[in-house]
Amino acid sequence: MKTDLHPRWPLQPSSRASVQCFERGELGTILDELAEECPIALEFNGISHVVMLATPANLEDFGVGFSVTEGIVQQATQIYDVDVESGIDGITVKIGIATVCSEQLKHRRRNMAGRTGCGLCGTESLKEVFRPLKPVIENGPLFQTKYIDRALRAIEPHQLIQQKTGATHAAAWFDLHGQLKLIREDVGRHNALDKLIGAGIRSKDQDWQQGMLMVTSRASMEMVQKAVIAGFQYLVAISAPTRLAVDLAQENGLCLIGFARPGKWTVYSHSDKLDFTNLPTNH
């Protein structure tokens, strides 16, 4: 059943709505900021592949990141162009890819209705769950744990959509000194990470992949998988990891940190990749 709430889906992360609010014994009407959640169709060389529910912002980044982390392409240079088109039924991200990738996609093509809380919705077989991964290569100095606190304090002020709506996750890239380099938000945690990875690839920054990824969610197996595919050595999650995520991180050279708060965090895999000197102390 169609409604006229969104005659044309907006390319904006949030919008205002008049709502009734009960507080301190009084009922009133206020304007509330709501996160947009739109159907986003990803189309490769003119063929629809998947529909996800996502925040309609940074969709070019999303297209690039999804293409890489889902193995649609083997390398970013096989993506030729990304166009975003808003229509009556939703938004289409049209991605041009190399012919060889398009042919491979046809053989394993799956149609799935994406949901913001699940990364495997619509996977056709168990064989598709665990894709072959190339373990991350140590390509820099150890990450100094004293910078984890700096990163944790820096991420919240830059979650602009979350501040307005309270409904989005964030994924961020911090350099080896704990300085924020990129951040992306989405109603879906997988989408936020794909957007961030896509933004990093599109930035052409030579230091991309140096430093750590931080996500404001739990660390599921798929979040670890995407971090490994992107080539990162460090993934910090605000919430808990799953056992499968820990095992996958251990097997593929990823240092996984969970339950991260300023002054408190837990290392679940590859603590040997961390420099524990000069840790901050509580006074």
Can you give the CATH number for the domain in which 54 is found?
Answer: 3.10.20.10
Domain presence at residue 21: no
pTM of the model: 0.90
Type of residue numbered 97 = I
CB neighbour class for 255 (10 Å; exposed up to 12, middle 13-18, buried from 19) = buried
Q: Is the pLDDT of residue 2 over 50?
A: no
Q: Are residues 215 and 95 in the same domain?
A: no
Q: Are residues 149 and 207 in the same domain?
A: yes
Q: Are residues 121 and 169 in the same domain?
A: no
State mean pLDDT over 145-160. 96
Q: Are residues 163 and 207 in the same domain?
A: yes
Domain presence at residue 19: no
Domain presence at residue 173: yes
Q: Is the pLDDT of residue 82 over 70?
A: yes
Q: Is the pLDDT of residue 110 over 90?
A: no
CATH of the domain at 218: 3.40.140.10
Q: Are residues 224 and 162 in the same domain?
A: yes
Return d(Cα 241, Cα 252) in angstroms, integer: 15
Number of domains present in the structure of the chain: 2
Type of residue numbered 185 = E
Q: Which of 69, 103, 128 is the C-terminal boundary of a domain? A: 128
Domain presence at residue 119: yes
Q: Which of 80, 98, 128 is the C-terminal boundary of a domain? A: 128
pLDDT at position 140 is 75
Q: Is the pLDDT of residue 25 over 70?
A: yes
Domain presence at residue 31: no
Q: Which of 74, 100, 128 is the C-terminal boundary of a domain? A: 128
Q: Give tens-digit pLDDT for 112-136.
A: 444 455 555 545 555 566 778 999 9
State mean pLDDT over 20-27. 90
Domain span at residue 88? 38-128
- The answer to whether the beta carbons of residues 214 and 171 sit under 8 Å apart is yes
Domain presence at residue 1: no
pLDDT at position 85 is 94
Q: Are residues 124 and 183 in the same domain?
A: no
Q: Give tens-digit pLDDT for 232-243.
A: 999 999 999 999
Could you tell me the pLDDT band of residue 206, with boundaries at 50, 70 and 90? Answer: confident
Domain presence at residue 232: yes
pLDDT at position 106 is 86
Catalytically annotated residues: 118
Average pLDDT for the chain: 89
Domain presence at residue 24: no
Q: Are residues 81 and 148 in the same domain?
A: no
Q: Are residues 147 and 270 in the same domain?
A: yes
Q: What angle do CA 47, 2, 167 make, to 5 degrees?
A: 80
Q: Are residues 124 and 174 in the same domain?
A: no
Q: Are residues 124 and 147 in the same domain?
A: no
Return d(Cα 60, Cα 31) in angstroms, integer: 30
Return d(Cα 147, Cα 73) in angstroms, integer: 34
Q: Is the pLDDT of residue 271 over 90?
A: yes
Q: Are residues 194 and 83 in the same domain?
A: no
State mean pLDDT over 250-269. 96
pLDDT at position 186 is 98
Q: Kindly state the percentage of the chain with pLDDT values over 90.
A: 76
Q: Are residues 159 and 254 in the same domain?
A: yes
